[in-house]
Amino acid sequence: MGQTFENPIRELCTGGFEQIEQFIRDDGPGLIFCWLSLIFLKTHLKDGSLFQTRDRRSGDLRRLADAYDHVELHHIHAVARSFFTRATLKREVFGSLILLPAKQANGVIEPFDFADIYTSKSILLRINDFCLIAVLDDSCAALSSFMNDLDRIRAPLAPAQLREIFAHISFISANLEERPLFHSIFNKDGHTIEGSRPREVRLISPPVAPFGEFLFAALENTLHTHPDRDHISALVRAGRYSFLFDANGNQIENSVVLRP
Protein backbone atom coordinates (compact mmCIF):
# COMPACT_ATOMS: atom_id res chain seq x y z
CA MET A 1 0.00 0.00 0.00
CA GLY A 2 2.84 2.36 0.79
CA GLN A 3 4.56 1.62 -2.50
CA THR A 4 1.33 2.02 -4.45
CA PHE A 5 0.01 5.20 -2.85
CA GLU A 6 2.10 6.93 -0.22
CA ASN A 7 5.47 7.03 -1.95
CA PRO A 8 4.37 8.32 -5.38
CA ILE A 9 1.73 10.67 -3.94
CA ARG A 10 4.23 12.15 -1.50
CA GLU A 11 6.40 13.03 -4.49
CA LEU A 12 3.41 14.53 -6.29
CA CYS A 13 2.48 16.64 -3.27
CA THR A 14 6.02 17.98 -3.11
CA GLY A 15 5.54 19.40 -6.60
CA GLY A 16 2.28 21.08 -5.62
CA PHE A 17 -0.69 22.03 -7.78
CA GLU A 18 1.10 22.16 -11.13
CA GLN A 19 2.71 18.73 -10.75
CA ILE A 20 -0.53 17.06 -9.67
CA GLU A 21 -2.45 18.75 -12.49
CA GLN A 22 0.12 17.49 -15.00
CA PHE A 23 0.02 13.98 -13.52
CA ILE A 24 -3.78 13.76 -13.81
CA ARG A 25 -3.61 15.10 -17.37
CA ASP A 26 -0.96 12.54 -18.39
CA ASP A 27 -1.90 9.49 -16.32
CA GLY A 28 -5.57 10.02 -15.54
CA PRO A 29 -7.35 10.29 -12.17
CA GLY A 30 -7.03 6.62 -11.15
CA LEU A 31 -4.24 6.78 -8.57
CA ILE A 32 -5.56 9.95 -6.88
CA PHE A 33 -9.14 8.70 -6.88
CA CYS A 34 -8.24 5.33 -5.36
CA TRP A 35 -6.13 7.10 -2.73
CA LEU A 36 -9.03 9.36 -1.71
CA SER A 37 -11.32 6.31 -1.62
CA LEU A 38 -8.86 4.59 0.70
CA ILE A 39 -8.70 7.63 3.02
CA PHE A 40 -12.50 7.86 3.14
CA LEU A 41 -12.87 4.14 3.81
CA LYS A 42 -10.28 4.06 6.59
CA THR A 43 -11.74 7.18 8.21
CA HIS A 44 -15.22 5.69 8.47
CA LEU A 45 -14.08 2.23 9.47
CA LYS A 46 -12.30 3.97 12.33
CA ASP A 47 -15.67 5.41 13.36
CA GLY A 48 -16.58 1.89 14.45
CA SER A 49 -14.33 2.37 17.49
CA LEU A 50 -15.21 6.00 18.35
CA PHE A 51 -18.05 6.82 20.73
CA GLN A 52 -20.85 9.21 19.77
CA THR A 53 -20.70 10.64 23.30
CA ARG A 54 -17.20 11.29 24.55
CA ASP A 55 -18.25 11.60 28.19
CA ARG A 56 -18.00 7.99 29.40
CA ARG A 57 -20.01 8.88 32.53
CA SER A 58 -23.15 9.11 30.37
CA GLY A 59 -23.22 5.35 29.84
CA ASP A 60 -23.88 5.91 26.13
CA LEU A 61 -21.84 3.25 24.31
CA ARG A 62 -23.07 3.95 20.79
CA ARG A 63 -20.30 4.30 18.19
CA LEU A 64 -20.23 6.82 15.36
CA ALA A 65 -20.50 4.02 12.79
CA ASP A 66 -23.72 2.72 14.34
CA ALA A 67 -25.56 5.26 12.21
CA TYR A 68 -23.95 4.04 8.97
CA ASP A 69 -25.35 1.64 6.42
CA HIS A 70 -22.12 -0.14 5.58
CA VAL A 71 -23.61 -1.52 2.37
CA GLU A 72 -23.12 2.01 1.01
CA LEU A 73 -19.35 1.61 1.49
CA HIS A 74 -19.11 -1.50 -0.66
CA HIS A 75 -18.27 0.27 -3.93
CA ILE A 76 -15.74 2.57 -2.27
CA HIS A 77 -14.18 -0.47 -0.59
CA ALA A 78 -13.93 -2.28 -3.93
CA VAL A 79 -12.22 0.71 -5.55
CA ALA A 80 -9.90 1.34 -2.58
CA ARG A 81 -8.57 -2.23 -2.61
CA SER A 82 -8.41 -2.57 -6.39
CA PHE A 83 -4.62 -2.18 -6.17
CA PHE A 84 -4.59 -5.48 -4.23
CA THR A 85 -7.27 -7.35 -6.22
CA ARG A 86 -5.74 -6.04 -9.46
CA ALA A 87 -9.20 -5.07 -10.65
CA THR A 88 -9.58 -3.09 -13.84
CA LEU A 89 -11.65 0.07 -13.27
CA LYS A 90 -13.78 1.31 -16.14
CA ARG A 91 -14.16 5.06 -16.70
CA GLU A 92 -17.71 5.24 -15.32
CA VAL A 93 -16.49 3.81 -11.99
CA PHE A 94 -14.68 7.03 -11.13
CA GLY A 95 -16.68 9.70 -9.33
CA SER A 96 -16.36 13.48 -9.44
CA LEU A 97 -12.76 14.56 -8.87
CA ILE A 98 -11.88 18.25 -8.75
CA LEU A 99 -8.39 19.74 -8.39
CA LEU A 100 -8.36 23.40 -7.37
CA PRO A 101 -5.62 25.93 -6.57
CA ALA A 102 -5.58 26.89 -2.88
CA LYS A 103 -4.64 30.29 -1.53
CA GLN A 104 -1.60 30.37 0.76
CA ALA A 105 -0.75 32.86 3.51
CA ASN A 106 1.97 31.85 5.96
CA GLY A 107 0.84 32.24 9.54
CA VAL A 108 -2.73 33.00 8.45
CA ILE A 109 -3.91 29.92 6.55
CA GLU A 110 -3.08 26.46 7.83
CA PRO A 111 -1.39 24.38 5.09
CA PHE A 112 -3.71 21.40 5.63
CA ASP A 113 -7.47 20.86 5.71
CA PHE A 114 -9.69 17.77 5.63
CA ALA A 115 -13.44 17.23 5.59
CA ASP A 116 -15.89 14.56 4.54
CA ILE A 117 -19.64 14.00 4.54
CA TYR A 118 -20.72 10.37 4.83
CA THR A 119 -24.21 10.93 3.40
CA SER A 120 -22.75 12.35 0.17
CA LYS A 121 -19.68 10.07 0.09
CA SER A 122 -17.70 13.27 -0.47
CA ILE A 123 -14.24 14.27 0.67
CA LEU A 124 -12.06 17.40 0.73
CA LEU A 125 -8.29 17.31 1.16
CA ARG A 126 -6.18 20.49 1.00
CA ILE A 127 -2.38 20.45 1.18
CA ASN A 128 -0.41 23.68 0.70
CA ASP A 129 -1.32 25.14 -2.71
CA PHE A 130 -3.80 22.54 -3.96
CA CYS A 131 -7.13 21.08 -2.92
CA LEU A 132 -8.80 17.84 -4.00
CA ILE A 133 -12.58 17.53 -3.74
CA ALA A 134 -14.33 14.32 -4.73
CA VAL A 135 -17.58 12.40 -4.64
CA LEU A 136 -16.64 8.75 -4.63
CA ASP A 137 -19.75 7.04 -5.97
CA ASP A 138 -21.59 9.43 -8.35
CA SER A 139 -19.89 8.59 -11.67
CA CYS A 140 -19.09 12.31 -12.16
CA ALA A 141 -22.71 13.51 -11.79
CA ALA A 142 -21.85 16.31 -9.32
CA LEU A 143 -18.91 17.48 -11.42
CA SER A 144 -20.96 17.70 -14.61
CA SER A 145 -23.74 19.55 -12.78
CA PHE A 146 -21.37 22.10 -11.19
CA MET A 147 -19.00 22.54 -14.14
CA ASN A 148 -20.31 25.95 -15.25
CA ASP A 149 -19.60 27.37 -11.79
CA LEU A 150 -16.12 25.88 -11.71
CA ASP A 151 -15.36 27.55 -15.05
CA ARG A 152 -15.71 30.94 -13.29
CA ILE A 153 -12.81 30.24 -10.93
CA ARG A 154 -9.97 32.59 -11.87
CA ALA A 155 -7.68 32.66 -8.82
CA PRO A 156 -6.54 30.47 -5.91
CA LEU A 157 -9.31 29.87 -3.39
CA ALA A 158 -9.45 30.61 0.33
CA PRO A 159 -10.36 27.78 2.74
CA ALA A 160 -13.99 28.93 3.14
CA GLN A 161 -14.39 29.13 -0.65
CA LEU A 162 -13.08 25.60 -1.07
CA ARG A 163 -15.47 24.36 1.60
CA GLU A 164 -18.36 26.09 -0.17
CA ILE A 165 -17.50 24.21 -3.36
CA PHE A 166 -17.31 21.05 -1.26
CA ALA A 167 -20.80 21.83 0.08
CA HIS A 168 -22.20 22.31 -3.44
CA ILE A 169 -20.71 19.03 -4.64
CA SER A 170 -22.01 17.22 -1.53
CA PHE A 171 -25.49 18.73 -1.94
CA ILE A 172 -25.72 17.53 -5.54
CA SER A 173 -24.55 14.04 -4.64
CA ALA A 174 -27.02 13.69 -1.76
CA ASN A 175 -29.94 14.76 -3.95
CA LEU A 176 -29.42 12.73 -7.11
CA GLU A 177 -32.75 11.40 -8.33
CA GLU A 178 -31.07 8.35 -9.83
CA ARG A 179 -27.64 7.11 -8.80
CA PRO A 180 -25.23 5.08 -10.91
CA LEU A 181 -25.07 1.32 -10.42
CA PHE A 182 -21.79 -0.57 -10.12
CA HIS A 183 -20.98 -4.23 -10.56
CA SER A 184 -18.04 -6.59 -10.89
CA ILE A 185 -17.33 -9.03 -13.69
CA PHE A 186 -15.09 -12.06 -13.17
CA ASN A 187 -13.79 -14.06 -16.11
CA LYS A 188 -10.58 -15.57 -17.46
CA ASP A 189 -9.17 -12.07 -17.98
CA GLY A 190 -9.57 -11.19 -14.29
CA HIS A 191 -11.73 -8.80 -12.29
CA THR A 192 -13.36 -5.74 -13.88
CA ILE A 193 -15.50 -3.15 -12.08
CA GLU A 194 -18.03 -1.47 -14.35
CA GLY A 195 -20.90 0.92 -13.93
CA SER A 196 -24.01 2.29 -15.59
CA ARG A 197 -25.22 5.83 -15.06
CA PRO A 198 -28.36 7.82 -15.93
CA ARG A 199 -28.39 9.69 -19.22
CA GLU A 200 -28.90 13.00 -17.42
CA VAL A 201 -28.38 14.41 -13.93
CA ARG A 202 -31.63 15.20 -12.13
CA LEU A 203 -32.08 16.22 -8.51
CA ILE A 204 -34.96 15.32 -6.25
CA SER A 205 -37.36 18.04 -5.14
CA PRO A 206 -37.65 18.96 -2.37
CA PRO A 207 -34.04 18.18 -1.41
CA VAL A 208 -33.15 15.93 1.52
CA ALA A 209 -31.97 19.13 3.25
CA PRO A 210 -31.53 22.76 2.11
CA PHE A 211 -28.16 23.72 0.66
CA GLY A 212 -27.50 25.94 3.68
CA GLU A 213 -27.41 22.85 5.90
CA PHE A 214 -24.67 21.34 3.72
CA LEU A 215 -22.72 24.60 3.81
CA PHE A 216 -23.08 24.73 7.59
CA ALA A 217 -21.89 21.11 7.87
CA ALA A 218 -18.84 22.00 5.77
CA LEU A 219 -18.05 25.14 7.79
CA GLU A 220 -19.27 24.31 11.30
CA ASN A 221 -15.85 23.59 12.78
CA THR A 222 -14.52 26.91 11.41
CA LEU A 223 -17.44 28.97 12.75
CA HIS A 224 -17.26 27.95 16.39
CA THR A 225 -14.53 30.53 17.16
CA HIS A 226 -16.41 33.43 15.55
CA PRO A 227 -17.55 35.99 18.18
CA ASP A 228 -21.00 36.15 16.53
CA ARG A 229 -21.21 32.41 15.90
CA ASP A 230 -24.96 31.97 16.44
CA HIS A 231 -25.95 34.81 14.10
CA ILE A 232 -23.49 33.81 11.37
CA SER A 233 -24.46 30.13 11.64
CA ALA A 234 -28.14 31.02 11.22
CA LEU A 235 -27.38 32.99 8.05
CA VAL A 236 -25.24 30.19 6.65
CA ARG A 237 -27.99 27.66 7.34
CA ALA A 238 -30.49 29.92 5.59
CA GLY A 239 -28.27 29.93 2.49
CA ARG A 240 -27.65 33.68 2.78
CA TYR A 241 -23.84 33.62 2.81
CA SER A 242 -21.68 33.21 -0.25
CA PHE A 243 -17.91 32.98 -0.12
CA LEU A 244 -17.47 32.26 -3.84
CA PHE A 245 -19.20 34.70 -6.17
CA ASP A 246 -20.57 38.24 -5.98
CA ALA A 247 -23.90 39.43 -7.37
CA ASN A 248 -22.36 39.66 -10.86
CA GLY A 249 -21.12 36.09 -10.76
CA ASN A 250 -17.47 37.05 -10.33
CA GLN A 251 -15.16 35.24 -7.94
CA ILE A 252 -14.83 37.04 -4.62
CA GLU A 253 -11.26 37.92 -3.70
CA ASN A 254 -11.34 38.89 -0.02
CA SER A 255 -14.89 39.60 1.10
CA VAL A 256 -17.93 37.66 2.21
CA VAL A 257 -21.21 38.40 0.45
CA LEU A 258 -24.52 38.37 2.32
CA ARG A 259 -27.16 37.04 -0.03
CA PRO A 260 -30.40 39.06 -0.09
DSSP 87-155: -EE-GGG---EEEEEB---TTTS-SEEEEEETTTTEEEEEETTEEEEEESSSTTHHHHHHHHHHTT--S
Beta pairing, strands 88-89 & 190-196: parallel
Domain parsing of the chain, residue ranges: 2-158+176-203
Residue 109 CA to residue 131 CA, distance in Å, equals 13
Write b or e for each residue in 96-134: b if 16 or more Cβ atoms lie within 10 A of its Cβ, otherwise e: bbbbbbbbeeeeeeeeebebbbbebbbbbbbbebbbbbb
Residue 201 CB coordination number (10 Å): 19
Residue 237 CA to residue 256 CA, distance in Å, equals 15
pLDDT at 257: 63
Residue 39 CA to residue 196 CA, distance in Å, equals 25
Short-list 132, 129, 19, 30, CA closest to 11? 19
Cis ω before 206 (30° cut-off from 0): yes
pLDDT at 40: 97
pLDDT at 255: 59
CB-based contact 153:100 (threshold 8 Å): yes
> pLDDT tens track of the chain, all 260 residues?
999 999 999 999 999 999 999 999 999 999 999 999 999 999 999 998 998 998 888 989 999 889 888 889 999 999 999 999 999 999 999 999 999 999 998 878 899 999 999 999 999 999 999 999 999 999 999 999 999 999 999 999 999 999 999 999 999 999 999 999 999 999 998 999 999 999 999 999 999 999 999 999 999 888 877 778 888 899 999 988 888 988 888 898 875 665 54
pTM of whole model > 0.75?
yes
Question: Which uninterrupted H or E stretch holds 166?
Answer: helix 159-174
Radius of gyration of the chain from its Cα atoms, rounded to whole angstroms: 19
Alpha helices by DSSP H, 47-100: 74-80, 82-85
